[in-house]
């Protein structure tokens, strides 16, 4: 099973990082307001970055790494 690490750009231009094994369903939950507490009320969203990992543990580790980046570093990752 493939895991996706993703960054969403929210309507207020903030960035949200998460992981999922079903991007379509996860995005639908974010839009519905049940995906993550942070994203509630911040729709619409735009997927601005994705990475894929085969192992959930590796995806979780990468998610933590990305979450620890500054906004500027995340924008560099998105742009690069």
pLDDT tens-place string over residues 6-38 = 999 999 999 999 999 999 999 999 999 998 999
pTM of this structure: 0.93
Closest to 1 measured CA to CA, from 20, 27, 24, 28? 20
Percent of residues, the chain, with pLDDT higher than 90 = 96
Structural domain boundaries of the chain?
3-79
Average pLDDT on 26-53 reads: 94
**In this model, does residue 80 exceed pLDDT 70?**
no
CATH architecture assignment, domain 3-79? 3-Layer(aba) Sandwich (3.40)
Q: Give whichever of 35-39, 42-46, 67-71 has the largest mean pLDDT.
A: 67-71
Distance, CA of 17 to CA of 5 (rounded, Å) = 7
| Helical ranges in 1-80 per DSSP H | 23-32, 56-67, 71-79
């Amino acid at each position: 099973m493939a895991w996706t690490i993703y960054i969403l750009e929210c309507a207020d231009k903030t960035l949200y990082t998460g992981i999922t094994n079903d991007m379509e369903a996860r995005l639908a939950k974010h839009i519905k307001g049940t995906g993550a507490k942070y994203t509630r009320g911040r729709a619409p969203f735009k997927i601005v970055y994705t990475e894929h990992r085969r192992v959930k543990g590796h995806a979780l580790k990468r998610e933590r790494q990305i979450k620890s980046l500054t906004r500027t570093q995340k924008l560099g990752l998105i742009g690069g």
